[in-house]
Amino acid sequence: MTPAVTTPADLPDAPRQWQQGSLVYGVGGLAVLFAWLLLGDFAWSLKERAVVPVAQVLLKQLQASDFFIALVVGSLPAALGMLLGPVIAVRSDRHRGRLGRRIPYLLLPTPPIVIGLLGMAATPVAGAWLSELAGLSPRLCQLAWFTLMWTVFEVASVTANAVFGGLINDVVPQPLVGRFYGLFRATSLLAGIGFSSHVLGHAEQQFAAIFTGIALIYGLCFALLCWRVKEGSYPPPEPVPAEEGGWVAGTRRYLRECFSHRFYVLLFVAMMLGLVSGSPVNSFGVFYAKQVGLGLDGYGKALAISYGFSLVLALPVGWLADRWHPLRVGLGAIAVYAACMLVAGLWVQDAQQFGFAFVLHGVVSGVYLTGTAALGQYLFPRASFAQFFSAMNLLAALGYMLVAPGMGAWLDATGSHYRHTFIASGVLAAGSALCYVLLARQMRALGGFAAYRAP
């Protein structure tokens, strides 16, 4: 009879350990990992939360229309995401190198992101210089320069965003991923609270300093993250058949693997609708606030209040996602959000009512985003996580491309009645809730919530 082998983890005094692939963490190692990832998240969140509203304010100062703002700030990133996201994700899944398969794709985009932000900060000066050089309208040259710098910024951001979630999937132990995303969300909210309550109100006069500050913070934090976070070893990627090695064949393979199973298609649509449901309010909330008399400073304070509530809820919601499952949490949150936004669209008439509804929008949508942040880690195939995550982002990009400019065109045509943004968000959220209900039913055939097997 072969004697039982006792491992250190079996000993009563053995330190607690967590494993993710070839990586093994003790309590200290896990704390260090979380610290570096959350530092990167702070910079990433500041970029995501602060750049768009400041860009909107600058474009309004340049007398851009709602449609132009939505097209450049909303649709351009989505279009770039559709083109670049899947390519970067697949290459990252299959890459094997000294730095890992994710770190190279986070490190390389960092300098262009910094350059794009500094370029946007220089919009008035660069636009005036181009105007003198080309003999064109200063306003036209400023808009052209901003669009160019925004494109540089977004191309690099799309590259980084396509693999940041993949890095978390590869290095964070799955039993803790919901709680990690709770911390992730809390860090993001702290960045949003600080920016909204202390900085956003000065965006009209100090946009150049804001863009410059974000550029420096992002460049430093992501350089440190890429230096200190270490990936494990991965098994070799499955060989690609010779007949599927070209771009056309590779695209067919990508579409076949990601979109041939009904469960994944429904999951992608549910997540896409949930993500873009807040786009109408988020894209035009700053203008709605000014229309009802709340003002830019009041809008920033309302945003900070919503972040504060979401901060308190972040860790409990992350724990609930690990305990109850992200799909269940997402379904409950998006259904409540749909009801709240539809009521707000019919009810809001003044600054106080808008402020309340906007805070409610932020809090409930925040619960949804935190609760479903780990949904891909639970349901996508682990070996090709970034590929499937990019497929979801592909549909999300299409949604953003259509929703933001469509909403902008509707507002331009109807005299900028911004209460319609609440109604649009409610309708999109209701569609997401319906998809989640259908997904919950399909989970039974795949092992249920407790024993799920990715199809």
How far apart (Å, rounded) are the C-alpha atoms in residues 417 and 398? 25
Q: What is the per-residue pLDDT for 319? A: 86
Cβ atoms of 166 and 102 within 8 Å: the answer is yes
Instruction: Answer whether residue 22 shows pLDDT above 80.
Output: yes
Amino acid at residue number 357 = A
CA atoms within 13 A on the CB side of 363: 15
Tokens found for residue 137: 């309208």
Cβ atoms of 414 and 291 within 8 Å: the answer is no
Cβ atoms of 159 and 116 within 8 Å: the answer is no
- Three-state DSSP class for residue 199: coil
Instruction: Answer whether residue 7 shows pLDDT above 70.
Output: no
How far apart (Å, rounded) are the C-alpha atoms in residues 69 and 75? 9
Q: What is the DSSP letter of 268?
A: H
Cβ atoms of 195 and 259 within 8 Å: the answer is no
Q: What is the per-residue pLDDT for 412? A: 83
Domain positions in the chain are: 23-231+259-446
Which segments of 62-176 does DSSP mark as H helices, in order? 66-69, 76-94, 103-107, 110-121, 123-134, 138-171
Query: Looking at residues 179-197, what average pLDDT do you find?
Result: 81
- In the chain, % of residues over pLDDT 90: 28
Cβ atoms of 122 and 208 within 8 Å: the answer is yes
Tokens found for residue 368: 């949804």
Provide the Cα torsion 296, 298, 300, 304; round to 10°: 180
How far apart (Å, rounded) are the C-alpha atoms in residues 375 and 369? 10
Task: Dump pLDDT digits (tens) for 58-109.
Answer: 988 888 887 888 788 877 776 777 778 788 888 888 888 888 889 999 999 9
How far apart (Å, rounded) are the C-alpha atoms in residues 365 and 355? 15
Kindly tell me the sign of the dihedral angle through the C-alpha atoms of 363, 393, 46, 427: negative
Q: What is the pTM of this model?
A: 0.71
Amino acid at residue number 233 = S
Q: What is the per-residue pLDDT for 11? A: 44
CA 1 to chain CA centroid, Å, is: 55
Q: 410-419: which pairs have CB atoms within 8 A and are 24 or more residues apart?
A: 411/66, 411/284, 412/65, 412/66, 412/67, 416/66, 416/287, 416/291, 418/284, 418/287, 418/288, 418/291, 419/288, 419/344, 419/345, 419/348
Kindly tell me the sign of the dihedral angle through the C-alpha atoms of 227, 229, 230, 231: negative
Please tell me the CATH code under which domain 23-231+259-446 is placed.
Answer: 1.20.1250.20
- Find where tokens 């209460």 sit: 419
Sequence-separated (6 or more) residues with CB below 8 Å from residue 309: 359, 362, 363, 366
How far apart (Å, rounded) are the C-alpha atoms in residues 109 and 105? 7
Task: Dump pLDDT digits (tens) for 120-172.
Answer: 999 999 998 988 887 788 889 999 999 999 999 988 998 888 788 889 888 98
Angle 159-165-167 (CA atoms, 0-180°, nearest 5)? 90
Q: Provide DSSP, 347-398.
A: H--SHHHHHHHHHHHHHHHHHHHHHHTTHHHHHS-STTHHHHHHHHHHHHHH
Q: What is the per-residue pLDDT for 361? A: 93
Q: Predicted confidence band at 1 (pLDDT cuts at 50, 70, 90)?
A: very low
Pairing of strands 18-20, 23-25: antiparallel
φ, ψ of residue 20 in degrees (nearest 5)? -140, 105
Phi-psi region of 304 (alpha: psi -120 to 50; beta: other; left: phi over 0): alpha
Q: Predicted confidence band at 242 (pLDDT cuts at 50, 70, 90)?
A: low
Kindly tell me the sign of the dihedral angle through the C-alpha atoms of 9, 12, 14, 18: positive
How far apart (Å, rounded) are the C-alpha atoms in residues 227 and 364? 36
